[in-house]
Amino acid sequence: ATPAATMVGSTIAATNGVLFKGADILERAKEIDAIVFDKTGTLTHGELALTDVVSLEDPVRTDGAGIAIEKPDRDAEAFVLAAAASAERGSEHPLAQSIVAGATDRNLALAEPTQFENIPGHGISAQTEFGKTLVGNRKLMRDNGVDPQPAEEELVRLENEGKTAMLVAVEGSLVGVVAAADTVRESAKTTIEAIQKRGLSVYMLTGDNERTARAVAADVGIDPDNVRAGVLPADKADAVDELQSTGDRVMMVGDGVNDAPALTTAHIGVAIGSGTDVAIEAADVTLMRDDPADVLKVIRISEATITKVR
Ligand code: ADP
Ligand code: MG
């Protein structure tokens, strides 16, 4: 593009709430074969709300020797939620915030964690008044010697509803399950349909589990085979690389700190609206609004700019 044509393109882009980081980006954006969307915060609002609290314990806990011991709280669900929320106070993850907010809404008294560890992509471990507490996925439990199997039926039920279900263990025993749900952004489905109509493949990338991811993918019209779930933050870039290894040029759309390496790896990285500074920094294009439909604008503006130059 000539500098003048590029200037025109960039100006059009800015008035549409789409910011291209350089002249070459305008050229590159029309070359893509596939678009990969991050799930949470990109296709969904990223505002998680606590939806379920399930206790897996008998009404009276035993100390292992079969002697009944008194529980720290009135009822079993309250115990599960208070223990999970107390532990999650140390985390800034949206899932953690939904659990803490859910407990606060229910007026539960929370403890302050004295020790806290974040296990990226898996959950958290904390020491609180309730004891050593783990909150996270099946892998977190297995890695810590807790068998997640007794919760499997509950997990499957919640995940099929598109919810993120998290296991809660206290002092090495599985005590319950909490779940949080997000809502899909209004324009996600129509945008994905429009992208597919253009002959581009659409993928979803998430750290969330396969079943939840597929339920959300079905809502927005993404093929289940195009869902890459359970991807650890550090592996998101590799997932993009893998798609690109077939020769496809990928546009990655994401919002989070986790997405930054994938945004850099992709042919075109697009940071969405309220995304973190880290994501915006890594991206080639920034969407000023939180609207997936603006991804179509990126392609259209790019195509229009090239046409004018030729
Ligand atoms: P996403 O890509 O959706 O942002 P993450 O990679 O951060 O997800 O986390 C993947 C999974 O690890 C979550 O779906 C959840 O099961 C578990 N997890 C991560 N952080 C936490 C947390 N603070 N509390 C409970 N579970 C968590
Ligand atoms: Mg995200």
The pLDDT value given to residue 148: 98
Take residue 133 and report the two structure tokens written for it. Answer: 């507490």
Is the confidence at residue 3, as pLDDT, over 80?
no
- The span from the CA of 301 to the CA of 30, in Å, is 9
Inter-axis angle of helices 152-160 and 210-220, nearest 10: 20
HSE-CB for 249 with a 13 A CA cutoff: 8
SS3 (DSSP) at 15: helix
The pLDDT value given to residue 16: 79
Is the confidence at residue 60, as pLDDT, over 80?
no
The pLDDT value given to residue 175: 97
Per-residue pLDDT tens over the stretch 14-35: 667 899 988 889 889 999 999 9
Per-residue pLDDT tens over the stretch 231-288: 998 899 999 999 999 999 999 999 888 899 999 999 999 999 866 788 888 899 999 9
Instruction: State the DSSP string of 38-69.
Output: EIIIIIB----EEEEEEE-S-SSEE-SSS-EE
The pLDDT value given to residue 278: 85
User: Any idea which architecture 3-46+185-309 has in CATH?
Assistant: 3-Layer(aba) Sandwich (3.40)
The pLDDT value given to residue 68: 55
The rounded percent of the chain whose pLDDT value lies above 70 is: 87
CATH code of the domain made up of 49-181: 3.40.1110.10
Provide mean pLDDT across the span 98-107. 97
HSE-CB for 293 with a 13 A CA cutoff: 7
Beta bridge partners of 69: 61
Report CA(10)–ligand 1 centroid distance (Å): 37
Report CA(42)–ligand 2 centroid distance (Å): 6
Mutate to test the pocket of ligand 1, among 42, 44, 47, 95 (most ligand atoms within 8 A of CB): 95
Query: Of the ranges 5-9, 53-57, 89-93, 169-173, which is most confident?
Result: 169-173
From the list 24, 16, 91, 63, the residue with the least C-alpha distance to 306 is: 24
The pTM of the full predicted model, rounded to 2 decimals, is: 0.81
Under 8 Å CB-to-CB from 19, ≥6 apart: which residues? 13, 285, 286, 287, 288
Output the residue whose Cα is nearest ligand 1's atom 27: 123
On average, the pLDDT of the chain sits at 89
Q: Which ligand is nearest to the CA of 263?
A: 2
Report CA(207)–ligand 1 centroid distance (Å): 6
Edge-first strand listing for the sheet containing 123-128: 49-55, 173-181, 164-170, 131-136, 123-128, 115-119
Enter the DSSP assignment of 259.
G
Catalytic residue among 33, 38, 238, 255: 38
> ipTM above 0.90?
yes
Mutate to test the pocket of ligand 1, among 38, 100, 122, 163 (most ligand atoms within 8 A of CB): 122
SS3 (DSSP) at 248: coil
The pLDDT value given to residue 144: 98
Report CA(58)–ligand 2 centroid distance (Å): 37
105 is catalytic: no
* Residue type at position 136: G
Enter the DSSP assignment of 289.
S
Provide mean pLDDT across the span 167-187. 97
Backbone angles phi, psi at 198, to 5 degrees: -80, 0
Q: Tell me the domain boundaries of the chain.
A: 3-46+185-309, 49-181
From the list 90, 60, 39, 51, the residue with the least C-alpha distance to 259 is: 39
- The span from the CA of 47 to the CA of 97, in Å, is 9
Under 8 Å CB-to-CB from 289, ≥6 apart: which residues? 17, 273
Per-residue pLDDT tens over the stretch 75-100: 899 999 999 999 999 999 989 999 99
